[in-house]
Amino acid sequence: MAKLLIGSDHGGFDLKEFLKSYLKDEGYEVDDIGTNSKEACDYPDVANKMADYLSKDSENLGILICGTGLGMSMAINRYRNIRGALLYSPEEARLAREHNNANVAVLGARTFSNKENLDFLTAFLTAKFSNEERHKRRIDKIS
C-alpha cells in the first residue's frame, strides 16, 4: 500500500489531525509533514515540503489542506511530477485518480465539513488510475 503524506497550514490543522487519526485507524501508513499547531504559517512552505517528499518516492500519495484548498492547489501544481486535485465531491475525487492520476488530494477545511472531506478522501484513496492510453497521453501532455 502506498504511504500517505499529509500536510496543512493553520487553517487546515484540525482537519489534518482528524484525517490522520482516521487513516491510521484504517491501517494506512501516514507521515505528517506539519504544520504542528494552529499558529499561523504560510501554506506554500508546506506545499514545497510535500513536493520534496513526493519526489523521493513516486508511489506515495499526498494530502494537503488549507482553508479553501486554493492556495495549496496553486502551490503544489507548480511541480512537474505532481498532479494535485482540489476535491469537492466523491465522484470528482474518484475521477481525479481514474482519469488524471492525481497524486495529491487537496482539501478545503473551511469550505467543507470534516465528514464531507473524509468522503472525498475515501473516494480518492479507493480509486486507481485506469491506465488507459488516452488518459496516459493527456497526462504526458501536462508534463
Q: Which residues of this protein are in contact with ligand RB5, per CB under 6 A?
A: 9, 11, 43, 66-68, 70-71
* In the complex, least distance from residue 71 CB atom to ligand RB5, rounded to whole angstroms: 3
* In the complex, least distance from residue 86 CB atom to ligand RB5, rounded to whole angstroms: 10
Q: Where are the beta strands (DSSP E) in the chain?
A: 4-8, 30-32, 61-66, 84-86, 104-108
CB atoms within 10 A of CB 48: 15
Give Rg (Cα) of the chain.
14
* In the complex, least distance from residue 119 CB atom to ligand RB5, rounded to whole angstroms: 20
User: Active-site residue numbers?
Assistant: 66, 99
Residue 10 or 135 having the CB closest to ligand RB5 = 10
What torsion do the CA atoms of 93, 98, 102, 105 make, to the nearest 10 degrees? 20
Query: CA-to-CA distance for 48 and 46, rounded, in angstroms?
Result: 5
Q: Read off the C-alpha cell for 61.
A: 500519495
Residue 94 or 109 having the CB closest to ligand RB5 = 109
Residue 54 or 75 having the CB closest to ligand RB5 = 75
